[in-house]
Amino acid sequence: MMDIEVTNVAKRYGTSLAVSDVSFGVEQGHVLSLLGPSGCGKTTVMRMIAGLIAPSAGSIAIKGKPVTQIPVHKRNVGMLFQNYALFPHLDVAHNIAFGLEMRKVPKAEALKKAEAVLAMVRLEAFGARYPHQLSGGQQQRVALARALVIEPSVLLLDEPFGALDKKLRENMQLEMRQLQQRLGITTLMVTHDQDEALTLSDRIAVMRAGVIEQFGTPTEIYERPVSRFVASFIGTSNFFTGRVTAKVNGGYTVECPDGVRLGFNGTPPAEASVTVALRPEGIQVSPDAGGDPAPNRMRTTVEQIVYRGLSTHYYLRRPTGEPLVVVRQNDSGADVFAGLQPGSAVLASWAAERNLIVRDDA
Amino acid sequence: MHEGGLGKGAILLYSVTGVITFFLLVPLLFPIALSFSDTPFVVFPPKGFTLQWYWKVINEPDFTTPFMFSVQLGVFAAIGALLIGTPTAMGLTRYSFPGRGVVQGLVLSPLVFPMLVTGIALLRLFTSINSNSSLTNLVIGHTLVTVPYVIRTVSASLLLIDPSTEDAARTLGANTWMTFWRVTRPQIVPGLFAGGIFAFVTSFDNYSISMWLADAEHFPMPMAMFALISRMFDPGIAAIASLMILMSIVIVVVLERLTGLQRAMSV
């Protein structure tokens, strides 16, 4: 069952289209991330689901009930704002009790429930504090408690971790995910942070310029990007453009203008000219032993080496001058990578299944 | 030189500030000094010391009646200005719509428009619609000229608060009115308070609107003072002026204590 259903929704501001014809669903208990660069329309979509702005076209349903015509205060959504949006004039307990009071819950009972929810986010002793007396992480927990205490149909998170520093952000992400899974609450999250989307989501919708570019599981999005935009926005990719040439037994070859050949398994695509994405972690590097140019091999020179702790990034240069990025985990002992220096001539090679044909929309 | 010190320019700066303060305060200190004079006429320098003039004026119906009327008028005008000005400020700060600049200019125009002209215009209007209640006319006139103060102070307060707190309230189930009353209003108290005080003081001080709309039963304080000064020669008139100054000081202190004058004035 779909807890959130968005059908052909569009939002127009004057003559510009912020969101055009977006449709997707969020399954019960799932976390869906709307991922995209700023200005792609992801926040607009979320605010339309919350009811804070009205769509120009299309319809929205929450838990199977059409809500397009229902005002925000009757939609029963829990929303977490980027800056938490706690009420500065109310203490923590009254912040949390606010939504219950609006539902005509008697004040004493509302405050008692607020206590219980505060325990859930591990802030039992903080009921009498005011928001400005709390740290960023504590404020976020209060905001989460305030959104959850009304037992919302769905939870909406608007860039929820953007204001926290890296360490705290990672802790809060894990905590949020655990809580979400324990409560089984259907969640929609807006983010521009690909790591956040990959960490927290069951499904990701990558948005660009008001449309959904790709919808899928985190694995699908990362391993099977459909377009050049997705391949470069989530993770990094090397790109090749070439023409489909030789059709060999059980596969085919794409030949680039500089002579590099990319070997594929399976049936060739219908187009004659294609764009190929190649993830940097799929490339091996070995000493340049010369020899015949084979498919999925390329002679390069090392341009720059950047040590990043967990991994090392090698910026190679192809004979044509185009860059080729290789990423390697720093997990094994001394090997061929150890002796590499800027200027070294190396041979880059990769397996055929690493070549991904993507739509070129750059 | 310690941090934040003024260095060599300090002497010059202090002298200039001192001179300006002197020129601002002397005219105010003058009537205060005169009001204690133990002479039947206003004389300078004052002679002796007495509080009899204060006693006299607070028992003088020609002073107390207009004073009480002006307080009443000022309260009505302040309430009217808050009721009209607050929603106006909300609309102007929270929404963008075609012609917002024009509306903004229009609602603030009483600040720059000569009040004398506004007064005549109102008189003509009230005459032509047969609005004969002087009190109603005065309240409307005073509300009109005090509304811009409320709009400016409330707008300033609204710009300081986080609009997403209003969005949060709405998602939590508050309708438009509850959102305003429970979330917006408590956060803009300084602006409401300052706007109300400015409206009251402006109304209390107003002559140029009142002179067209007042009648014998509805006679505001500034007009009464003007009438009194032409027939009163004892230091009682100085005592009245001193009481007015005292009232202003009380208002400034209260405003400073409750909201911070600097913050309330920020526009």
**What string of H, E and C letters represents the secondary structure of A145-210?**
HHHHCCCCCEEEEECCCCCCCHHHHHHHHHHHHHHHHHHCCCEEEEECCHHHHHHHCCEEEEEECC
pLDDT of residue A264: 86
pLDDT category of residue A24 using cuts at 50, 70 and 90: very high
Whether B183 has its CB under 8 Å from any CB of chain A: the answer is yes
Is the pLDDT score of A309 beyond 90?
no
Mean pLDDT of A337-350: 81
A159/A46 Cα distance (integer angstroms) = 11
Q: Do residue A73 and residue B183 have CB atoms under 8 angstroms apart?
A: no
DSSP H or E stretch at residue A18: strand A16-27
User: What ipTM was assigned to the predicted interfaces of this complex?
Assistant: 0.84
Instruction: Give the pLDDT score at B144.
Output: 93
pLDDT value of residue B10: 84
Distance CA A188, CA A79 (A): 9
Between strands A297-307 and A311-317, the pairing is: antiparallel
Q: Tens digit of pLDDT for each residue in A199-221?
A: 899 999 999 999 999 999 999 99
Is pLDDT above 90 for B35? Answer: no
- Which chain B residue's Cα is nearest to A147? B172
Closest residue by Cα to residue A88 from A149, A133, A41: A133
- Longest distance between any two alpha carbons in chain A, whole Å: 82
Residues of A near B (Cβ–Cβ under 8 Å) read 50-52, 71-79, 81-83, 85-89, 98-99, 102-103, 143, 146-147, 150, 156
Q: pLDDT band at B1, cuts 50/70/90?
A: very low
* Residue A252 DSSP code: E
Give me B6's structure tokens. Answer: 């003024």
Contact B175 A52 (CB under 8 A): no
Label residue A281 exposed, middle or buried (CB < 10 Å: 0-12, 13-18, 19+).
middle
CB A145 within 8 A of CB A117: yes
SS3 A21: strand
Domains of chain B: 60-266 (1.10.3720.10)
Task: Tell me the per-residue pLDDT of B169-218, one tens digit each, with 9 for 90 and over.
Answer: 999 999 999 999 999 999 998 899 889 998 999 999 899 999 999 888 89
Residue B233 has pLDDT above 80, yes or no: no
pLDDT at B158 over 50: yes
Q: CA B49, CA A133: separation in Å to the nearest integer?
A: 55
Residue A122, pLDDT score: 86
Mutate to test the interface with A, among B164, B172, B183 (most CBs of A within 10 A): B172
pLDDT-derived band at B255 (thresholds 50, 70, 90) equals: confident
Q: Phi and psi (nearest 5°) for A187?
A: -135, 135
**What distance lies between CA A83 and its chain's CA centroid?**
20
Please give the Cα distance from A302 to A285 (Å, whole number): 10
A98:B172 CB<8 A: yes
pTM for this prediction: 0.82
Contacts within 8 Å (CB) and 24+ apart, B65-68: B65/B219, B65/B224, B66/B219, B66/B220, B66/B221, B66/B223, B66/B224, B66/B225, B67/B221, B67/B224
Which residues in B lie closer than 8 A to residue A97 (C-beta atoms)?
Answer: none
B86-142 pLDDT per residue, tens: 999 999 998 888 888 898 888 888 888 888 998 999 999 999 998 888 999 999 999
Q: Contacts of residue B178 in chain A, CB cutoff 8 Å? A: 102
CB–CB contact B173 A79 (8 Å): no
Cβ atoms of A214 and A194 within 8 Å: the answer is no
Instruction: Say yes or no: B213 contacts chain A, CB-CB below 8 A.
Output: no
pLDDT band at B267 (very low <50, low <70, confident <90, very high): very low
User: What are the CA-CA distances from residue A42 to residues A6, A10, A18, A159, A168 (Å)?
Assistant: 13, 12, 9, 10, 24
Which pLDDT band holds residue B30 (cuts at 50, 70, 90)?
confident
Within a 13 Å sphere around the CA of A148, how many CA atoms are in the beta-carbon half?
Answer: 24
pLDDT per position as a tens digit, A256-288: 887 788 888 888 788 888 999 999 998 888 877
Which residues in chain B have Cβ-Cβ distances shorter than 8 Å to A73?
Answer: 170-175
Quote the CA–CA distance of B159 and B54 in Å, as a whole number: 45
Quote the minimal CA–CA distance from B147 to chain A in Å: 27
pLDDT at A292: 62
Highest mean pLDDT among A38-42, A265-269, A358-362, B168-172: B168-172
pLDDT, one tens digit per residue, over B15-29 is 999 999 999 888 888
Contact A57, A20 (CB under 8 A): no
State pLDDT tens for residues B71-97: 999 999 999 999 999 999 999 998 888
Which of A102, A107, A157, A158 has the most B C-beta neighbours within 10 Å, making it the best mutation to test the interface with B?
A102
- Round the average pLDDT of chain A to a whole number and report it: 89
Q: Check A85 against B186: CB less than 8 A apart.
A: no
- Rounded CA separation A60/A66 (Å): 6
